[in-house]
Amino acid sequence: MRRLISITGELPFKATLVWTDPPAVKNAAIVLVNDLDLLAVNIESNQAFIGNTIAGQPLAWDSLNNVEQVNFTLPAGERGAPLFSKVAVHVIGSKVPIVRSLDSTM
């Protein structure tokens, strides 16, 4: 799933992905059955933001949680003027063994 969103600089951008997940097999080492990942890409700068990655840390996919969020602010342009940008928000199914409709919001 992909959405293209226009945003103005100096305003925080936040995207959250939440989905319900069926119960894992009893005593499973990993309890997340359907692993979805959230990715936001600033189209102008090609900068990527991965869900649940802490600023300043290496980018890494979260394979433990069914809630993922990206949060960032575009820098100001020349003389403090706000920048306008387009952000592509992607939901990637890294591991989706249960083939059925997932309840999710974006």
Q: Which two tokens stand for residue 99?
A: 């083939």
Side-chain half-sphere exposure of 9, counting CA atoms within 13 A: 14
pLDDT of residue 103: 57
Distance between CA 104 and CA 102 in Å, rounded? 6
3-state SS assignment for residue 49? strand
Which residue shows structure tokens 């309890």?
31
pLDDT of residue 30: 85
Domains belonging to the chain, first-starting first, are 2-96 (2.60.120.380)
pLDDT of residue 82: 58
pLDDT of residue 106: 52
pLDDT of residue 24: 87
**Around Cβ 35, how many Cβ atoms within 10 Å?**
19
pTM: 0.78
- Residue 87 in contact with residue 9, Cβ under 8 Å? no
Distance between CA 41 and CA 18 in Å, rounded? 19
Question: Which stretches in the chain have pLDDT values below 70?
Answer: 1, 8-11, 75-84, 98-106
Dihedral of CA atoms 14, 24, 29, 63 in degrees, nearest 10, equals -20
pLDDT of residue 50: 95
